[in-house]
Amino acid sequence: MKKHEYSRRKFLQRAMLASAAAAVAPSVLLAKPRFAAANERVNLACIGIGNRGAQIIDDLYATGLCNIVALCDVDMGASHTTATIKKFPNVPRFQDFRKMFDKMANQIDAVAIGVPDHSHFPITMHAMALGKHVYVEKPLSRTFQESELLMEAAKKYNKVVTQMGNQGHSEANYFQFKTWVEAGIIKDVTAITAHMNSPRRWHGWDPNMSSYPPAERVPKTLDWELWHMAIAEEHDYNKDFINGQWRCWYDFGMGALGDWGAHIIDTAHEFLDLGLPYEVECVKATGHNPFFFPMSSTIVFRFPKRRQMPALDITWYDGLDNLPPIPEGYGVSGLDPNIPPPSTGDIEPVKLNPGKIIYSKELTFKGGSHGSTLSIIPEQKAKDMASQLPEVPASPSNHFANFLKACKGEERTRSPFEISGPLSQVFCLGVLSQQLKTKLVFDRETKTITNNPLANKLLVGTPPRKGWEEYYRV
């Protein structure tokens, strides 16, 4: 196994190898999707059964709308998978999702995918080409082009139900934001502050590292080669690449932005019709390095005018020492209850829970993440507006039930790829700006970066390894 010493030349060579891989889907037999009947449960295969994957399985099964018919994990039998195995001891188990589909495709209606970000794409493409409905965790993919291909595949296999796992998109925040936009309460938004200032896994790592972590013995339960999926350059195994640690690295994850952005920005992105930005600029990246995400980042996304809506900037803040400006009248709700609230608009030693501040021409709103609802600030303004606020309907189903009911033809998913794909592409552009610590000018029509050839190549990423090319065709 070769050492993965970093050099600027190597980084450039790898990036420039990226080809504008034409979008086409796996060359497997296209099957017609099956929709479970009203009195049937959806036959669900679960890919990724430990850690977050285990939570997804529990939530889907708790709806009473599915049967778990297959379990698949590249580290099947590891300690983090045993709880799921014990819950479903008689369900067939697989280490390779391709072998699972080869053997059981005709017994599977839908799949739940709870694996590292870099693994989302090939598994999802394979499932869709077989006519299987797909629930995949956020963000949708690790590269801009992968999200583009997933959206194209969703159009091609248009009977397949798709859902990205940003669970708040089926909770109170979703219905409130939608209702308030339709009622004209949220209008003329010109700026949004999005913040995630909690500790991250890589905080405390050394940004001056000169190589990837040293090789360790691969656990007997783990298929380390398969873990890489389509990534061409194989890394030496190290415990800091697996079990959630993958989120720290540009090669495998999407950092704080990809992790939490889908829970904070999602409703604004959809209901303010933001689409893709025309410019993204990383204005701060403390501890910037070639391997893993910065200790703190500030990234500005600039969106143009849309119909009657004004241009809008979203400014993203992450990092313990990188809190956003707090507007006057913000109040204590949303602040860490263990930290005294600020008495002024200054940033002082105050910690914020993940959330957002939305500035319109007339009103200011504050909100949290996931399903947390917005409130109008300051408090007196909220009281003055109370009689004007429309009634917000309750959610008819949580995110998991919404997916399974859609697999039965009873509902439409609220975060299908046509909605979640462009949102995920926003995060991909943000991570590129963060990785290169620069400003990117983006052409929304051609979907190209016009001021940075390297970044434009990285929209696609490095070519997949041999045997995985078929997933990059639709």
Sign, CA torsion 428/195/420/136: positive
* Res 425 pLDDT > 50: yes
Alpha-carbon gap, residue 105 to 156, rounded angstroms: 19
Mean pLDDT of 94-105: 98
The beta strands (E) that lie in 54-109 are given as 66-72, 93-94
| Strand partners of residue 70 | 45
Cβ–Cβ under 8 Å, residues 64 and 400: no
Residue 33 — very low, low, confident or very high, per pLDDT cuts 50/70/90? confident
Kind and range of the H or E element at 194?
strand 189-196
Give Cα separations from 31 to 35, 191, 369 (angstroms): 12, 45, 38
Task: Output the pLDDT for position 29.
Answer: 47
Residue 467: which residues within 8 A CB-CB, separation 6 or more? none
Distance, CA of 297 to chain centre: 18
In the structure encoding, which two tokens stand for residue 168, read together? 């708040």
Alpha-carbon gap, residue 143 to 424, rounded angstroms: 9
Q: Up-side HSE of residue 23: CA atoms within 13 Å toward CB?
A: 16
Task: Output the pLDDT for position 19.
Answer: 36
Q: What is the share, in percent, of the chain residues with pLDDT greater than 70?
A: 89
Task: Output the pLDDT for position 31.
Answer: 65
Task: Output the pLDDT for position 332.
Answer: 66
Name the residue among 167, 189, 170, 191 with its Cα closest to residue 114: 167
| Strand partners of residue 54 | none
Each residue's pLDDT tens digit, 268-307: 999 999 999 999 999 999 999 999 999 999 999 999 999 9
Q: What are phi and psi of 360, to 5 degrees?
A: -110, 180
Task: Output the pLDDT for position 190.
Answer: 98
* Res 25 pLDDT > 90: no
Cβ–Cβ under 8 Å, residues 154 and 419: no
* DSSP 8-state class, residue 277: -
* Res 4 pLDDT > 50: no
* DSSP 8-state class, residue 280: E
| Strand partners of residue 47 | 72, 113
Give the chain's mean pLDDT: 91
